Structure 1
Amino acid sequence: MAYDVVIVGGGPAGLSAALALGRARKRVLLCDAGTRRNAAAEHLNNFVTRDGTPPGEFRAIGRQQLAAYPSVEARDVRVEAIAGARGAFQITLPTGAVEARRVLLCTGMIDEPLAVEGFRELWGRSIVQCPYCHGWELRDRRWGYLARGAESLHFPIMLRGWTRDVVVFTGGAFDVPADVRAHLSAAGIQLETRPVARLVAREDRLESVALSDGATIPCEVLFAHPPQRQVDLVRELGVGLDGDGYVQIDPVRRETSVPGVYAAGDLLTRMQTAIVAAASGAQAAGMLNHELTAELVTGGWSGGRA
């Protein structure tokens, strides 16, 4: 079976791309398998018309809407390998191989839990990454931020827009410059440099942060940006990555360093919210449709971008 585009990943980016390509009458296979990054999240927020929607419901609505387009097929299946070249890719699935003219990666990122007792259990509930996604629901509570470097200390100042009570935990892992200390103090943010021993929870919700000397700091919400890595499939393809490990793409065409392989969503940036990922998928789909249509009707000319 030959497709115009095989999309790898069925989150907001993949669903958005599949919708745009389906409306453009392109033959699409959307492959979705594995655990969602936001599996622990209870609601998807800050997404116009879908604010507060449970993630599973959001995906179900997306799949339901795709069903209206006969050229789009969605499967709960894992892509095992991608071979071939632009215009003639072979995509290996557990059920066999399919062919595609283009591939769109919407695989997201894999979060690596920090080595703090209780972190993994509270991730996605009391420990979150994005205040735009969760800040409103958690406003006016005691917030903390697990900082991994001095370069990230602009982030907690933004958190003050949602609550007056913010503590930055450095664990003593790095020095905080005097001017940064002054900015944090001026913003009313407490700086805690003692090592963090563990996170104390009650009924699966964070209650406090225990320090190595036995002290505890009351904390109900913890923001953290743990290390992330690409899924194995992306690394095996050998697409170019930037210094932080995110996939590099042409800013206009949305194509990676591997010809014919495009990317959209969280694997491109730390700015990881559902609505941004969906917009990224729509952008990639627009460029894919433009180039695929140009190949069919003109033999390849696409206004200087072929």
Structure 2
Amino acid sequence: MTTISPSALPSPIAVDVLVVGGGAAGLSAATVLARSRRDVVVLDTGEPRNAPADGVHAFLGHDGVPPADLLARGRAELESYGGRVERAEAVDAEHEGGTVLVRSADGRCWRARHLVVASGAVDRLPEVPGLARHWGREVVHCPYCHGWEVRDRRVVVLATGAAAAHQAGLFGQLTDRLTVLAHTPDALDGSARDRLTRLGVEVVDGPATGVVECDGVLVGLETPGGVVPADAVAVASVVEARSAVLDALGVPLADLEVFGSVAARHVAADPVGRTTVPRVWALGNVAEPMAQVVMVAAAGTRTGALLNAELVAEHQERRLAAG
């Protein structure tokens, strides 16, 4: 845990709740708190996980809205209730006197009665040259986020582990022009390969050595055996929580395994967002790396309401203790 030297900091800005992360989860929690007349500030770097995507999907009433537009609406709603959003990167934190002290990279400091960490996550992709350039558009991971957009097209599942067969099944529901490319020798065991072949799915041996483009659009994957045509590539990313503040406070991260492989590093918070460290809450993709936008927005609303109730109880106890 890092210790912040008081002499090295400006006077901290006191707030009821500080939220680190201005995505759907953080803004939802902050808005509930602001509507409860809490002094709440959101620190945000402006780098949401879904920024490359053209639109948000599976969010009732908001399907297809560009991610930036959704967040702009959320910030405006929060500010209409007196909440504030500051462009800042939280880099350090510690407990002090029943509060949490947080410092940003630009030297500012906040003192909060409670801290909500909703800083999101980053997706680590296989190291295939050119793959990351198309992330969120022709390179996708979630059939519920992007599957409709690639329906009936040539989809290649880039197999890097046991989850590939499952992913092939999901994308196979959306197109019959499906290929599974075994990127590593152990990506598909004999049973999985046989099952896919029997289901009529073409299996090609890799590895993928690069992306083939035409006028900047992905059209295939290069392999030692030639080009595998593709309009879209489905790949299982490894999701890593953005954890600088969590690390500083001693909040542990845990591996999340899917089909026997590590799919994510996340905070094992309880169902309402409490971490193992007092006064520190975690929600959104920090805690639920596979959750879609609608899910993390709902989690933010839930956590904001429960956190406000906790603040009410703390205030009542102080009044009763004072006589």
Do both share a fold (TM > 0.5)?
Answer: yes
Quick check: 2:99–2:279 contact (8 Å CA) kept in 1? no
Q: Which residue of 1 aligns with 2:229?
A: 218
Q: Which residue of 1 aligns with 2:141?
A: 129
Alpha-carbon separation, structure 2, partners of 1:161 and 1:91: 47
Alpha-carbon separation, structure 2, partners of 1:242 and 1:86: 28
Alpha-carbon separation, structure 1, partners of 2:283 and 2:108: 25
Structure 2 residue 265 is matched with structure 1 residue 254: no
Report Cα offsets for 1:55-103 as digits up to 9, x if no partner: 1111111111112212x11111222311115841111132522210111
Q: Which residue of 2 aligns with 1:284?
A: 303
Alpha-carbon separation, structure 2, partners of 1:53 and 1:146: 28
Quick check: 2:51–2:67 contact (8 Å CA) kept in 1? yes
Alpha-carbon separation, structure 2, partners of 1:151 and 1:47: 25
User: Does the residue aligned with 1:103 lie in a helix, a strand or coil?
Assistant: strand
Give the number of the structure whose residues are more often strand, by fraction. Answer: 2
How many percent of aligned residue pairs carry the same amino acid? 31
Residue of structure 1 aligned with 2:122, choices 110, 115, 122: 110
Q: Which range moved further: 34-43 or 72-81?
A: 34-43
Q: Which range moved further: 19-28 or 184-193?
A: 184-193
Structure 2 residue 41 is matched with structure 1 residue 29: yes
Q: Which residue of 2 aligns with 1:56?
A: 68
Alpha-carbon separation, structure 1, partners of 2:176 and 2:166: 16
Q: Which residue of 2 aligns with 1:295?
A: 314
Alpha-carbon separation, structure 2, partners of 1:41 and 1:259: 35
Once the two structures are TM-superposed, the CA of residue 119 in structure 1 deviates from its matched residue by 0.9
Report Cα offsets for 1:201-258 as digits up to 9, x if no partner: 1232210111113x1111111111223323233333321222232111122x421121
Alpha-carbon separation, structure 2, partners of 1:299 and 1:170: 62
Quick check: 1:85–1:260 contact (8 Å CA) kept in 2? no
Q: Which residue of 2 aligns with 1:304?
A: none
Closer, same or farther in 2 for the Cα pair 1:283/1:290, shift >3 Å? same
Alpha-carbon separation, structure 2, partners of 1:260 and 1:247: 15
Query: Which letter does structure 1 place at the counterpart of 2:146?
Result: H
Alpha-carbon separation, structure 2, partners of 1:273 and 1:289: 24
Taking structure 2 as the reference length, the TM-score comes to: 0.86
* Structure 1 gap segments, 5+ residues each: 302-306
Q: Which range moved further: 173-182 or 158-167?
A: 173-182
Closer, same or farther in 2 for the Cα pair 1:183/1:241, shift >3 Å? same
Residue of structure 1 aligned with 2:175, choices 137, 159, 163: 163
Quick check: 2:239–2:289 contact (8 Å CA) kept in 1? no
Structure 2 residue 263 is matched with structure 1 residue 243: no
Once the two structures are TM-superposed, the CA of residue 39 in structure 1 deviates from its matched residue by 2.2
Closer, same or farther in 2 for the Cα pair 1:29/1:149, shift >3 Å? same
Structure 2 residue 85 is matched with structure 1 residue 74: yes
Aligned residues: 298
Quick check: 1:13–1:281 contact (8 Å CA) kept in 2? yes
User: Does the residue aligned with 1:57 lie in a helix, a strand or coil?
Assistant: helix
Q: Which range moved further: 86-95 or 126-135?
A: 86-95
Quick check: 2:94–2:248 contact (8 Å CA) kept in 1? no
Alpha-carbon separation, structure 1, partners of 2:189 and 2:127: 25
Q: Which residue of 2 aligns with 1:120?
A: 132
Query: Which letter does structure 2 place at the counterpart of 1:278?
Result: A
Residue of structure 1 aligned with 2:240, choices 225, 229, 247: 229
Once the two structures are TM-superposed, the CA of residue 115 in structure 1 deviates from its matched residue by 1.2
Q: Which residue of 2 aligns with 1:273?
A: 292
What's the Cα RMSD here?
2.1
Q: Which residue of 2 aligns with 1:14?
A: 26
Alpha-carbon separation, structure 2, partners of 1:203 and 1:172: 29
User: Does the residue aligned with 1:282 lie in a helix, a strand or coil?
Assistant: helix
Structure 2 residue 124 is matched with structure 1 residue 91: no
Closer, same or farther in 2 for the Cα pair 1:300/1:123, shift >3 Å? farther
Closer, same or farther in 2 for the Cα pair 1:239/1:116, shift >3 Å? same
Alpha-carbon separation, structure 2, partners of 1:20 and 1:82: 24
Query: Which letter does structure 2 place at the counterpart of 1:254?
Result: G
Taking structure 1 as the reference length, the TM-score comes to: 0.90
Q: Which residue of 1 aligns with 2:4?
A: none
